[in-house]
Amino acid sequence: MPDDRAGPRFALGAACAIFDAAGRVLLVRHSYGRRNWELPGGGAEAGESPDETALRELGEETGLSGLVVRLTGLYLEVEHERGPFLHVVFRVRIDGGDDPQPASPEIEDAGWFEVDALPSPISDFTERRIADARLDGPAVVTRISGRTWR
């Protein structure tokens, strides 16, 4: 018998927005799909909190460890390829060294980039999350409708 109390179902993912002392942002380049540049992050595992997801993915993708500083955004993407997807983004501070090394077959490259000279291909959604994470105000809560690429 179905549970009438069941709420909305969506996938959950989390990402790290990390800026160095010079204001550059840490990005990783995927080895699949569009081979795009992205914030370090990925999908949550069963029973994992968003902050745990973000920090686990940071380590898996770059070999770095970090500490969550604050939540910067919640983004609901209803038309995601996996179905409704809630993206959680945290501002993270690196704990230790700051030399990212691709640490997963899913990651082809990793590096620091000037915010006004981001690499391609990159989506407007990634650019939006970077811009939102730089703000000192409250976390952004919004819906995402599609992505464009440059």
Q: Which residue has the higher pLDDT, 145 or 91?
A: 91
- 129-141 average pLDDT score: 96
Phi (first) and psi of residue 51, to 5 degrees: -65, -35
4 pLDDT above the threshold of 70:
no
Calculate what percentage of the chain has a pLDDT beyond 70: 97
Distance between CA atoms of 58 and 13, rounded to whole angstroms? 12
User: What are the chain's domains?
Assistant: 19-144 (3.90.79.10)
For 74-115, give the DSSP string: EEEETT-TTSSEEEEEEEEEE-S-------STTEEEEEEE-T
1 pLDDT above the threshold of 60:
no
86 pLDDT above the threshold of 70:
yes
The model's pTM is 0.93
